[in-house]
């Protein structure tokens, strides 16, 4: 009986000191690494600033917790491992330590409440509505996104590409036509589910002109990984011009705003997400949800191709089922885009 439990010996204290030293050094390295790693793509929204700061604070708070637990576990495994001849020995009986238990319950509780409060404040601030916000409706369907705007006369304007003006809040209303998708623009740092039957909302204020991926972040079927489009953040004047031209049927959804040039069929094919479901050698796409276009369109004329786009159920390729292709490309594509993509497909799949 050389040691009474709950009394610390000089040896115990040296262990605690060693643990503390290892923990402090490992935490410092961990925090430095966590802050140095470039976790995210370009920050293209005002909200992104607060969200990235929140992330950094979470790293600073969580790394020491992880390091503390791992240090104690690994140190104990190494220091108190069983040595030869100790197979039948039992450790000292321990009946708890009230003071320690209070401490290790109170500290995590304080950390959790503080971080939750901070995160709640950030969430409230990034969701704050601006009365001047631009309203954009986002509709997800297997396997493409379509964006709807209202022009100055109240007419609905659709686009397969997302255009938003820099410096103005955008209020996205998100819907789904079929299954659950998730509307995500990583550069904006925000995402929200697109759920059939309900409307969800997301606000973001684009701040950096450029092109950023729009991603589906909910496993929604075979074409999920390819359900990607582009968000174009443009100057407000360019946006107004684009919307005017788009409303007049002149601006291709994917071309640079103000271009006004006839859309290229290949661009329409890519911008509308056709490749998510269809393989087409010329466009380099390999989607397998719908028929391989090089295959099924080889001996077909332009009229057949157009019918297959605007009325996908008219002719179903053997081996595929009806209703897997969105039925509304006839409405969301502008006539010039439809013509261009039909002509393009006719050319590249012809024998
Ligand atoms: Cu839509 Cu994943």
The reply to whether omega before 192 is within 30° of 0 (cis) is no
Q: Which residues line ligand 1 (CB under 6 A)?
A: 140, 143, 181, 216, 218-220, 224, 227
> How far is the C-alpha of 252 from the C-alpha of 264, rounded, in Å?
9
Phi, psi torsion values for 141, nearest 5 degrees: -150, 155
Q: Which atom of ligand 1 is nearest to the CA of 217?
A: 2
Phi, psi torsion values for 327, nearest 5 degrees: -85, 0
Summarize pLDDT for 133-159 with one digit per residue, the tens: 999 999 999 888 999 999 888 888 888
231 close to 160: Cβ distance less than 8 angstroms: no
Summarize pLDDT for 255-282 with one digit per residue, the tens: 444 444 567 888 888 878 788 788 898 8
Burial of 217 (0-12, 13-18, 19+ CB in 10 A): middle
Ligand 1 centre to CA of 277 (Å) is 12
- Whose C-alpha lies nearest to ligand 1, atom 1? 181
Domain 274-348: CATH superfamily is Cytochrome c-like domain (1.10.760.10)
Residue 1 has a pLDDT of 39
Ligand 1 centre to CA of 292 (Å) is 21
Q: Which residue has the tokens 């115990």?
A: 12
Q: What is the CATH number of domain 134-262?
A: 2.60.40.420
> How far is the C-alpha of 122 from the C-alpha of 47, rounded, in Å?
9
Phi, psi torsion values for 56, nearest 5 degrees: -60, -40
> How far is the C-alpha of 336 from the C-alpha of 265, rounded, in Å?
9
Ligand 1 centre to CA of 158 (Å) is 20
Q: Which atom of ligand 1 is nearest to the CA of 179?
A: 1
65 close to 106: Cβ distance less than 8 angstroms: no
Q: Which atom of ligand 1 is nearest to the CA of 218?
A: 2
Summarize pLDDT for 56-111 with one digit per residue, the tens: 999 999 998 898 889 889 888 888 888 888 888 887 788 888 998 999 899 999 99
Q: Which atom of ligand 1 is nearest to the CA of 224?
A: 2
Ligand 1 centre to CA of 141 (Å) is 8
> How far is the C-alpha of 214 from the C-alpha of 264, rounded, in Å?
21
Whole-model pTM above 0.75?
A: no
Measured CA to CA in angstroms, residue 147 lies from 135, 136, 157, 170, 238 at distances of 10, 7, 8, 12, 17
Summarize pLDDT for 167-184 with one digit per residue, the tens: 999 999 999 999 999 999
What are the domain boundaries of the chain? 8-80+97-126, 134-262, 274-348
Residue 7 has a pLDDT of 57
C-alpha 16: how far from chain center: 43
């Amino acid at each position: 009986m050389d040691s009474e439990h709950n009394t610390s010996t000089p040896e115990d204290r040296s262990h605690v000191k060693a643990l503390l030293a290892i923990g402090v050094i490992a935490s410092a390295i961990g925090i430095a690494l966590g802050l140095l790693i470039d976790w995210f793509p370009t920050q293209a929204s005002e909200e992104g600033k607060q969200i990235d700061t929140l992330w950094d604070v979470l790293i600073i708070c969580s790394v020491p917790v992880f390091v503390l637990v791992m240090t104690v576990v690994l140190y104990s495994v190494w220091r108190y491992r069983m040595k030869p001849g100790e197979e039948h020995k039992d450790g000292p009986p321990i009946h708890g330590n009230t003071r320690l238990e209070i401490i290790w319950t109170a500290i995590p509780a304080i950390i959790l409440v503080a971080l939750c409060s901070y995160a709640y404040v950030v969430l409230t601030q990034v969701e704050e509505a601006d009365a001047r916000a631009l309203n954009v409706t986002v509709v997800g369907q297997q396997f493409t996104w379509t964006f709807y705007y209202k022009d100055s006369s109240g007419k609905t304007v659709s686009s397969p590409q997302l255009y938003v003006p820099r410096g103005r809040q955008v209020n996205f209303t998100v819907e789904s036509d079929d299954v659950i998708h998730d509307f995500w623009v990583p550069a904006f740092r925000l995402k929200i589910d697109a759920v059939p039957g309900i409307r969800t909302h997301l606000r973001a204020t684009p701040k950096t002109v450029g092109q950023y991926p729009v991603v589906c972040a909910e496993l929604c079927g075979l074409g999920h990984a390819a359900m990607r489009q582009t968000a174009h953040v443009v100057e407000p004047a360019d946006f107004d011009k684009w919307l005017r031209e788009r409303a007049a049927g002149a601006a291709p959804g994917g071309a640079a705003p103000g271009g006004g040039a006839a859309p290229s069929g290949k661009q329409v094919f890519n911008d509308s997400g056709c490749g998510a479901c269809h393989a087409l050698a010329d466009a380099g796409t390999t989607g397998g949800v719908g028929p391989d276009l090089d295959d099924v369109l080889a001996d077909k004329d332009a009229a057949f191709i157009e019918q297959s786009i605007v009325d996908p159920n008219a002719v179903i390729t053997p081996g595929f089922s009806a209703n897997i292709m969105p039925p509304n490309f006839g409405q969301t594509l502008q006539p010039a885009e439809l013509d261009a993509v039909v002509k393009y497909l006719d050319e590249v799949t012809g024998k």
